[in-house]
C-alpha cells in the first residue's frame, strides 16, 4: 500500500490527504514530527519537508504541490467531471495560484508560526527551539488571520467554489489550511459567514472525516472542531 | 505583446525569463520593486509577489511555478524533444521537486536574505525596512550557500542535467537562482567544479544572454558575472 509521510498539523499534508480521500486512494499514514530532521526521513527528502508520498514501488514524490500534480496526471485526468482541477489552462492557473496562496502565503503569515508556537514547541527539545511560545510571533500571526479570512470570504461570496464553478484543489488546499487553524480555535467564524458556509460544505465531505478525527497529543482541539454544524 | 512583471534580482522572475527565452517567446519586461506593494500591482496580484505574466488579453498568470505549468500546457507539450520537462509523470515529479527546491528552499535559506540585505535595502525607504544590511542575516545566509552548492554539485556530477538526461525546468530554476547569487559574487566556484561546469553550459545558452546583461542601479555585478569562461 502507498504511504504518506505527514503530520496532523501540517496544512500541506492535510491537502494531500483530502486529494487522496476524494479520489478514494487507500494510503497508510506515517506521522513525522516536522522539526525532527531524522536521518532516515532526510534520506527520502533532503529538504526535510512534509508531505512525502511513497508509491507501491517505494518511489518518493516530495511536496504537496508536486504530489497534487502527479495525482492529477496519473488519476485526475481520467475522472472527467470529478477531476479536482479545471480542463482549461487559465482556470488551472487560477486554481494553482490559490493552492500556492494557501500553502505558501497563509502558511508563512499564519499557519506555520501558530502551529510552531502552539503545538510543536511543546514537543520539541529545547535544543531544537522547544519551550514557551513566543507571544510576539503569535500576535503577529493572529493579526494576519483577519485579512486572510476576508480574502477567503470574498472568494466564497463571488464564486461557487474558491477556484471556480467546481470543487477543485483550491478548495482542498484552503480547507486543509483553515482546518489546522480551526483545530487551534484561531478562526472567528461569526465575522465571515460566507467563508463559514463554504467551510461547512467542505467539512461535510466524506474525505474530510479522517481530518476531523485527528488529534495531537499535546493539545486538544477547540470544542466545535469536529462539529459539522458549528 | 505579453508582459512579464519581474525584478532582475528575483530568481523566480529569472526562471520564467529563461523559460520564455528557451521557447522563443517575445515578452515585454516591466520592472517592479519587490518591496513596493504598489496598489496597481496588488490589484493584479494580491500576494504582491513576482513574477506575474500578462498575456495578450491581459489575463494574469501569477507565480513562477504557475507560469511554468501554464507555458508547458499551452506550448511545451507541442515541443517534443525540446519540451522543458519530461514525458513521464515520475520524472516530471523529480523536476518539480528540484524547481521547488531552488525557488523555495534555496530562496528562503540564501537568495532572498542576500538580495534583501545587499540590494533591496539600498533602495527601500527606512519605513519599509531600508538602511544598513543586517550582518547576522548575511552570515547565516552565507553559511547555507556551501551546503546548497554541494547538493548542486552532486546533482551535476550524477546526472547529465540537474533533473535528468535532458535540459529541463530544474536546470532553468537552478541556474536562475545561482545567477542571482553569482551577480552578488557569493559563489566560490573553485570549490564545486562539477557545478561550475554545468553552470557554464547553462550560461552559454542564448536564452541566458539577457540575464547576463541585467544590472541593478544600486550594485554592479562581480567582474566575472557575464564572462562565459569564468
Residue B176 has pLDDT above 90, yes or no: yes
Q: Is A1 helix (H, G, I), strand (E, B) or coil?
A: coil
Cell numbers 500591482 correspond to: B41
Contact A89 B73 (CB under 8 A): yes
CATH code, domain carrying B170: 1.20.1050.10
Contact B89 A104 (CB under 8 A): no
> For A97, which of B62, B74, B89 is closest by C-beta distance?
B62
CA dihedral A24, B65, B202, B161 (to 10 degrees): -10
pLDDT at A153: 97
A:37-66 residues touching chain B, CB 8 A cutoff: 46-47, 49, 59, 61-63, 65-66
B73–A contact, CB cutoff 8 A? yes
- For residue A222, being part of any structural domain is answered with no
Domain that holds residue B182: 89-205
Residue A204 has pLDDT above 90, yes or no: yes
Contact A101 B47 (CB under 8 A): yes
Average pLDDT over residues B184-189: 97
A204–B contact, CB cutoff 8 A? no
> For B70, which of A69, A89, A101 is closest by C-beta distance?
A89
Residue A173 has pLDDT above 90, yes or no: yes
Q: List CB contacts (< 8 A) between B100 and chain A.
A: 63, 65-66
Contact B66 A96 (CB under 8 A): yes
- For residue B152, being part of any structural domain is answered with yes
How close does chain B come to A131, measured CA to CA in Å? 23
Q: Do B97 and B189 share a domain, yes or no?
A: yes
Average pLDDT over residues B165-170: 97
Q: Do A37 and A68 share a domain, yes or no?
A: yes
The pLDDT tens digits of the residues spanning B118-147 come to 999 998 999 888 999 999 999 999 999 999
Interface probe with A: pick from B54, B93, B98, most Cβ of A within 10 Å: B93
Residue B71 has pLDDT above 90, yes or no: yes
Q: List CB contacts (< 8 A) between B66 and chain A.
A: 93, 96-97, 100
The pLDDT tens digits of the residues spanning A71-118 come to 999 999 999 889 999 999 999 999 999 999 999 999 999 999 999 999
The domain boundary residue, chosen from A59, A82, A105: A82
pLDDT at A129: 87
Q: Do B78 and B120 share a domain, yes or no?
A: no
pLDDT at A60: 96
Q: What is the mean pLDDT of chain B?
A: 95
Q: Do A37 and A96 share a domain, yes or no?
A: no
Residue A218 has pLDDT above 90, yes or no: no
Contact B101 A47 (CB under 8 A): yes
Q: Do B125 and B187 share a domain, yes or no?
A: yes
- For residue A193, being part of any structural domain is answered with yes
Report which secondary-structure segment, H or E, holds B28: strand B28-31
Question: Which ranges of chain B would DSSP assign to H, the alpha helix?
Answer: 11-22, 39-44, 64-74, 89-100, 112-115, 121-123, 135-158, 169-183, 193-203, 209-212
- For residue B212, being part of any structural domain is answered with no
Q: Do A74 and A101 share a domain, yes or no?
A: no
- For residue B222, being part of any structural domain is answered with no
Q: Do B130 and B175 share a domain, yes or no?
A: yes
- For residue A99, being part of any structural domain is answered with yes
Tell me which chain B residue has its CA closest to the CA of residue A96.
B66
Q: Do A132 and A196 share a domain, yes or no?
A: yes
Q: Do A20 and A65 share a domain, yes or no?
A: yes
- For residue A224, being part of any structural domain is answered with no
Q: Do B200 and B130 share a domain, yes or no?
A: yes
The domain boundary residue, chosen from B37, B66, B82: B82
Torsional sign, CA B170, A64, B92, A56: positive
Kind of pairing between the strands at A3-6 and A28-31: parallel
> For B65, which of A61, A65, A70 is closest by C-beta distance?
A65
Contact B62 A90 (CB under 8 A): no
Pairwise CA distance, residues A92 & A72, whole Å:
11
The domain boundary residue, chosen from B60, B82, B104: B82
Distance of CA A77 to the CA centre of its chain: 22
Contact B66 A93 (CB under 8 A): yes
Per the structure, the count of domains in chain B is 2
Q: Do A73 and A107 share a domain, yes or no?
A: no
Residue B218 has pLDDT above 90, yes or no: no
- For residue A26, being part of any structural domain is answered with yes
CATH code, domain carrying A26: 3.40.30.10
Average pLDDT over residues B193-200: 98
A191: DSSP letter: G
Q: Do B110 and B127 share a domain, yes or no?
A: yes
Contact B61 A93 (CB under 8 A): yes
Amino acid at each position: 500500500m502507498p504511504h504518506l509521510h505527514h503530520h496532523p498539523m501540517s496544512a500541506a499534508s492535510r491537502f494531500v490527504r483530502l486529494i487522496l480521500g476524494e479520489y478514494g486512494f487507500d494510503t497508510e499514514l506515517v506521522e513525522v514530527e516536522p522539526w525532527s530532521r531524522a536521518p532516515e526521513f532526510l534520506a527520502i527528502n533532503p529538504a526535510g519537508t512534509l508531505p512525502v508520498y511513497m508509491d507501491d514501488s517505494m518511489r518518493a514524490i516530495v511536496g504537496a504541490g508536486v504530489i497534487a500534480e502527479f495525482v492529477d496526471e496519473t488519476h485526475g485526468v481520467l475522472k472527467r467531471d470529478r477531476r479536482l482541477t479545471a480542463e482549461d489552462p487559465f482556470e488551472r492557473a487560477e486554481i494553482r495560484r490559490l493552492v500556492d496562496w494557501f500553502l505558501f502565503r497563509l502558511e508563512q503569515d499564519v499557519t506555520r508560526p501558530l502551529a510552531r508556537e502552539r503545538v510543536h514547541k511543546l514537543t520539541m527539545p529545547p535544543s531544537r527551539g522547544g519551550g514557551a511560545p513566543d507571544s510576539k510571533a503569535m500576535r503577529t500571526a493572529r493579526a494576519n488571520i483577519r485579512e486572510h479570512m476576508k480574502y477567503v470570504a470574498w472568494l466564497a461570496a463571488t464564486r461557487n467554489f474558491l477556484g471556480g464553478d467546481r470543487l477543485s484543489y483550491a478548495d482542498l488546499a484552503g480547507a486543509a489550511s483553515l482546518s489546522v487553524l480551526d483545530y487551534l480555535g484561531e478562526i472567528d467564524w461569526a465575522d465571515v459567514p460566507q467563508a463559514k458556509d463554504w467551510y461547512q460544505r467542505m467539512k461535510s465531505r466524506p474525505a474530510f472525516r479522517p481530518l476531523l478525527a485527528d488529534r495531537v497529543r499535546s493539545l486538544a482541539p477547540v470544542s466545535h472542531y469536529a462539529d459539522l454544524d458549528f
